Amino acid sequence: MTKRVLVVEDNELNLKLFCDLLRAHGFETEAVRDGRDAYGRARAFGPDLIITDIQLPHVTGLELIAEMRGDDQLVSVPIMAVTAYAGMGDEGRIRAAGANAYVSKPISVMRFMDVVNGLIAAGPVSESMDAPAPSALAK
Protein backbone atom coordinates (compact mmCIF):
# COMPACT_ATOMS: atom_id res chain seq x y z
CA MET A 1 0.00 0.00 0.00
CA THR A 2 1.29 3.43 -0.92
CA LYS A 3 2.63 5.33 2.06
CA ARG A 4 1.37 8.85 2.54
CA VAL A 5 3.51 11.81 3.52
CA LEU A 6 2.15 15.21 4.53
CA VAL A 7 4.65 18.00 3.82
CA VAL A 8 4.28 21.38 5.55
CA GLU A 9 6.61 23.96 3.98
CA ASP A 10 6.06 27.62 3.09
CA ASN A 11 9.02 27.83 0.71
CA GLU A 12 7.73 26.87 -2.73
CA LEU A 13 11.05 25.53 -4.02
CA ASN A 14 11.62 23.34 -0.97
CA LEU A 15 8.03 22.15 -1.06
CA LYS A 16 8.40 21.11 -4.70
CA LEU A 17 11.78 19.49 -4.03
CA PHE A 18 10.49 17.45 -1.08
CA CYS A 19 7.30 16.36 -2.85
CA ASP A 20 9.12 15.51 -6.11
CA LEU A 21 11.67 13.45 -4.19
CA LEU A 22 9.01 11.62 -2.22
CA ARG A 23 6.88 10.88 -5.26
CA ALA A 24 9.96 9.67 -7.16
CA HIS A 25 10.42 7.18 -4.32
CA GLY A 26 6.85 5.96 -4.53
CA PHE A 27 5.19 7.99 -1.80
CA GLU A 28 1.88 9.79 -2.09
CA THR A 29 2.26 13.39 -0.95
CA GLU A 30 0.01 16.12 0.39
CA ALA A 31 1.51 19.61 0.22
CA VAL A 32 0.55 22.18 2.84
CA ARG A 33 1.84 25.74 2.38
CA ASP A 34 0.10 27.44 5.30
CA GLY A 35 0.84 26.01 8.73
CA ARG A 36 -2.61 27.07 9.91
CA ASP A 37 -4.06 24.42 7.57
CA ALA A 38 -1.71 21.64 8.64
CA TYR A 39 -3.67 20.13 11.50
CA GLY A 40 -6.95 19.83 9.59
CA ARG A 41 -5.24 18.60 6.45
CA ALA A 42 -3.31 15.99 8.44
CA ARG A 43 -6.52 14.70 10.02
CA ALA A 44 -8.17 14.43 6.61
CA PHE A 45 -5.18 12.89 4.80
CA GLY A 46 -4.19 10.27 7.38
CA PRO A 47 -0.44 10.42 6.76
CA ASP A 48 2.10 7.70 7.58
CA LEU A 49 4.68 10.46 8.07
CA ILE A 50 4.54 14.20 8.62
CA ILE A 51 7.41 16.39 7.43
CA THR A 52 7.31 19.96 8.69
CA ASP A 53 9.41 23.04 8.27
CA ILE A 54 10.09 24.79 11.57
CA GLN A 55 10.23 28.39 10.32
CA LEU A 56 6.69 29.04 9.12
CA PRO A 57 4.59 32.19 9.05
CA HIS A 58 1.57 32.41 11.39
CA VAL A 59 2.39 29.26 13.35
CA THR A 60 5.76 27.71 14.18
CA GLY A 61 6.66 24.16 13.34
CA LEU A 62 7.12 23.53 17.06
CA GLU A 63 3.54 24.60 17.72
CA LEU A 64 2.35 22.38 14.89
CA ILE A 65 4.21 19.38 16.23
CA ALA A 66 2.77 19.92 19.70
CA GLU A 67 -0.71 20.22 18.18
CA MET A 68 -0.28 16.92 16.29
CA ARG A 69 1.00 15.22 19.44
CA GLY A 70 -2.07 16.35 21.33
CA ASP A 71 -4.43 14.71 18.84
CA ASP A 72 -5.49 11.10 19.32
CA GLN A 73 -5.47 10.40 15.58
CA LEU A 74 -2.07 11.95 14.92
CA VAL A 75 -0.19 11.21 18.14
CA SER A 76 1.51 8.11 16.75
CA VAL A 77 2.40 9.49 13.31
CA PRO A 78 6.17 9.91 12.98
CA ILE A 79 7.21 13.54 12.52
CA MET A 80 10.34 14.74 10.78
CA ALA A 81 11.30 18.39 11.22
CA VAL A 82 13.26 20.28 8.59
CA THR A 83 15.02 23.45 9.63
CA ALA A 84 17.68 25.84 8.41
CA TYR A 85 18.74 26.84 11.92
CA ALA A 86 19.41 23.69 13.88
CA GLY A 87 21.89 24.26 16.62
CA MET A 88 22.10 21.79 19.47
CA GLY A 89 19.58 23.73 21.53
CA ASP A 90 17.20 23.75 18.60
CA GLU A 91 17.42 20.00 18.21
CA GLY A 92 16.46 19.56 21.86
CA ARG A 93 13.44 21.84 21.50
CA ILE A 94 12.37 20.11 18.31
CA ARG A 95 12.58 16.69 19.94
CA ALA A 96 10.92 17.93 23.14
CA ALA A 97 7.98 19.17 21.06
CA GLY A 98 7.50 15.62 19.80
CA ALA A 99 9.45 15.32 16.54
CA ASN A 100 11.15 11.99 15.95
CA ALA A 101 13.90 13.24 13.67
CA TYR A 102 15.15 16.38 12.04
CA VAL A 103 17.08 17.22 8.92
CA SER A 104 18.83 20.52 8.41
CA LYS A 105 18.43 22.67 5.31
CA PRO A 106 19.83 22.82 2.74
CA ILE A 107 19.03 19.13 2.72
CA SER A 108 21.21 16.30 1.53
CA VAL A 109 18.94 14.26 -0.71
CA MET A 110 20.47 11.03 0.53
CA ARG A 111 20.06 11.92 4.21
CA PHE A 112 16.53 13.23 3.61
CA MET A 113 15.46 9.93 2.04
CA ASP A 114 17.37 7.85 4.63
CA VAL A 115 15.47 9.53 7.45
CA VAL A 116 12.14 9.28 5.61
CA ASN A 117 12.64 5.59 4.90
CA GLY A 118 13.82 4.92 8.47
CA LEU A 119 10.76 6.56 9.99
CA ILE A 120 8.38 4.82 7.58
CA ALA A 121 10.01 1.44 8.25
CA ALA A 122 9.79 1.98 12.01
CA GLY A 123 6.07 2.70 11.72
CA PRO A 124 3.83 4.38 14.30
CA VAL A 125 5.68 5.92 17.22
CA SER A 126 4.94 5.31 20.85
CA GLU A 127 3.06 8.03 22.67
CA SER A 128 5.66 8.16 25.38
CA MET A 129 8.48 9.09 22.96
CA ASP A 130 10.73 7.03 25.21
CA ALA A 131 12.02 4.76 22.51
CA PRO A 132 12.31 6.39 19.12
CA ALA A 133 13.53 4.10 16.38
CA PRO A 134 17.32 3.94 16.17
CA SER A 135 17.07 4.86 12.50
CA ALA A 136 15.29 8.05 13.44
CA LEU A 137 18.19 9.05 15.65
CA ALA A 138 20.84 8.59 13.01
CA LYS A 139 22.56 11.86 12.23
Chain residues in the site for Mn ion (CB under 5 A): 10, 53, 55
Question: Minimum CB separation from Mn ion for residue 1, in Å?
Answer: 31
Provide the minimum distance between the beta carbon of 101 and Mn ion in the complex, in angstroms, as a whole number.
18
Instruction: Report the residue number, 55 or 117, with the smaller CB distance to Mn ion.
Output: 55
Other residues' Cβ atoms within 10 Å of the Cβ of residue 46:
12
For the bound state, the minimum distance from the C-beta of residue 49 to Mn ion, rounded and expressed in Å, comes to 19
Q: Which is nearer to Mn ion, 10 or 114 (CB)?
A: 10
Is the CB of 55 or the CB of 135 nearer to Mn ion? 55
Dihedral angle over CA of 135, 51, 116, 29, nearest 10: 160
